[in-house]
């Protein structure tokens, strides 16, 4: 196997074997028994099958390995780092709007009493047919070809039970909610199978609630309530039988860290968020997701840029939004924890800005010994 060089004291054993912990100098290979080598750090070559390069590659697949001859370091492609980046601006500034979809196919409409609707194809926003009734703070979800906007606040009239369905071209009024409401939490599921929860229930203004309603494509049914009454939380998920609700608060600004998982029948409390907030929204599924933005309580106060990642058991703070915002739209019913979208919101004025959450292809990591 050739000569071995090291900058440590030579420690060749009397039987021809050696311990490389404090190895120094040059030892002939005749003095080395391969099965006795221990505590060796390799310099200058990565060995057969591992390429030697002067700099880390610009792209790699997870698990790829190489030897950097400039830094004398053996490296591998680990899991990439996720972060927010600017996306294409919307055509209409909005906050507390109807929203739904994924990172590359999203819908936004019904904000502050207007009926404007636009859809996103991953690169541009396009205005489509308006909804029938202008309102804000609706419960919502679905996709660009099948979406729901339910309830909300109608200026001059108060809370509403109206529900509209978007089929990819037109909005049609469908079955009303069982009770007028606003400031819910988005939704979990699809345009024909959705759950919504929380909010201020009743007309004209109502009171804070933990009520949960289920949509089957024709009508709404009341099901089991949240364990904690709140408004303005983030509810996300791709199924009406598995969603996650996090954050929120009462009408007074005491914002919550509560998180609850829906299993199709009832809500179960899980680990709390690290930061209480209302008006934040999310992306993902009940076992892996994100909550981002919102309004924070004192002493921090004000709009939040914080992003927290849920791994199925705990929340971890990760990279912030570029712009703090509350009441934004989100990829709540088609997004993931590594491919999310948020758009509009109060920044503090209604905004057209868009941010895209993506995982970098890979992260170069060094191989070291403990």
- 81-132 pLDDT, tens digit per residue, is 899 999 999 999 999 999 999 999 999 999 987 899 999 999 999 999 999 9
Regarding whether 34 and 11 lie in a shared domain, the answer is yes
Regarding whether 52 and 110 lie in a shared domain, the answer is no
Regarding whether 213 and 289 lie in a shared domain, the answer is yes
Regarding whether 215 and 94 lie in a shared domain, the answer is yes
Has residue 368 been placed in a domain? no
pLDDT of residue 142: 98
pLDDT of residue 271: 98
Residue 237 half-sphere exposure, CB side, CA atoms within 13 Å?
25
Last residue of a domain, one of 33, 60, 78: 78
Has residue 210 been placed in a domain? yes
**% of the chain at pLDDT higher than 90:** 65
Regarding whether 91 and 14 lie in a shared domain, the answer is no
Q: 39: pLDDT confidence band, cut at 50, 70 and 90?
A: very low
Has residue 183 been placed in a domain? yes
Distance CA 126, CA 90 (A): 8
Please give the tally of structural domains in the chain.
2
Distance CA 327, CA 56 (A): 41
Under DSSP, the state recorded for 244 is E
Has residue 369 been placed in a domain? no
Helices (H), ranges, 87-163? none
Regarding whether 222 and 106 lie in a shared domain, the answer is yes
Distance CA 247, CA 24 (A): 59
Q: Is the pLDDT of residue 299 over 70?
A: no
- Phi first, then psi: what are they for 36, rounded to 5°? -105, -5
pLDDT of residue 12: 52
Last residue of a domain, one of 78, 113, 130: 78
Q: Is the pLDDT of residue 344 over 70?
A: yes
Regarding whether 87 and 40 lie in a shared domain, the answer is no
Q: Residue 47 region, left (φ>0) first, then alpha (ψ -120 to 50), else beta?
A: left
Has residue 138 been placed in a domain? yes
Burial (Cβ within 10 Å: 0-12, 13-18, ≥19) of residue 252:
exposed
* Mean pLDDT of the region 311-329: 96
- Range of 45's domain? 4-78
Q: Distance between terminal CA atoms of the chain?
A: 26
Regarding whether 289 and 233 lie in a shared domain, the answer is yes
Regarding whether 93 and 73 lie in a shared domain, the answer is no
Has residue 367 been placed in a domain? no
Residue 272 half-sphere exposure, CB side, CA atoms within 13 Å?
10
Regarding whether 209 and 66 lie in a shared domain, the answer is no
307: CATH? 2.120.10.80
Regarding whether 169 and 148 lie in a shared domain, the answer is yes
pLDDT of residue 8: 37
Of residues 49 and 311, more confidence is placed in: 311
Q: Is the pLDDT of residue 62 over 70?
A: no
Q: Model's pTM, two decimal places?
A: 0.79
Regarding whether 146 and 119 lie in a shared domain, the answer is yes
């Amino acid at each position: 196997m050739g000569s071995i060089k090291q900058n440590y004291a030579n420690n060749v054993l009397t039987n021809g074997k050696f311990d490389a912990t404090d190895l120094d100098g040059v030892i002939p290979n005749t003095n080395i028994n391969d099965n006795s080598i221990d505590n060796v750090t390799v310099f200058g070559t990565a060995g057969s099958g591992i390429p030697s390069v002067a700099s880390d590659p610009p792209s790699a697949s997870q698990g790829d390995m190489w030897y950097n001859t400039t830094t004398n370091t053996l490296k591998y492609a680990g899991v990439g780092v996720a972060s927010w980046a600017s996306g294409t601006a919307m055509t209409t500034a909005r906050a507390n709007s109807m929203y739904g979809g994924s990172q590359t196919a999203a819908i936004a409409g019904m904000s502050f009493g207007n009926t404007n609707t636009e859809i996103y194809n991953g690169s541009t926003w396009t205005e489509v047919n308006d909804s029938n009734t202008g309102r804000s703070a609706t419960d919502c979800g679905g996709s660009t070809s099948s979406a729901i906007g339910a309830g909300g606040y109608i200026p001059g009239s108060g809370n509403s039970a109206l529900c509209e369905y978007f089929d990819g071209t037109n909005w049609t009024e469908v079955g009303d909610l069982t009770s007028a409401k606003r400031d819910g939490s988005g939704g979990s599921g699809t345009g024909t199978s959705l759950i919504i929860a929380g909010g201020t229930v009743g007309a004209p203004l109502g009171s804070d609630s933990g009520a949960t309603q289920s949509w089957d494509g024709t009508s709404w049914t009341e099901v089991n309530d949240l364990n904690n009454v709140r408004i303005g939380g983030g509810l996300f998920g791709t199924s009406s039988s598995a969603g996650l609700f996090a954050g929120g608060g009462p009408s007074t600004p005491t914002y919550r860290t509560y998180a609850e998982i829906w299993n199709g029948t009832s809500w179960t409390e899980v680990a709390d968020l690290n930061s209480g907030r209302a008006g934040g929204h999310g992306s993902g599924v009940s076992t892996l997701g994100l909550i981002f933005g919102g309004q924070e309580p004192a002493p921090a106060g004000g709009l939040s840029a914080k992003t927290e990642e849920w791994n199925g058991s705990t929340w971890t703070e990760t990279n912030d939004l570029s712009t703090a915002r509350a009441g934004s739209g989100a990829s709540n019913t088609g997004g993931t924890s590594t491919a999310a979208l948020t758009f509009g919101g109060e920044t503090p004025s209604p905004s057209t800005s868009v941010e895209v959450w993506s995982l970098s292809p890979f992260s170069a990591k060094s191989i070291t010994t403990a």
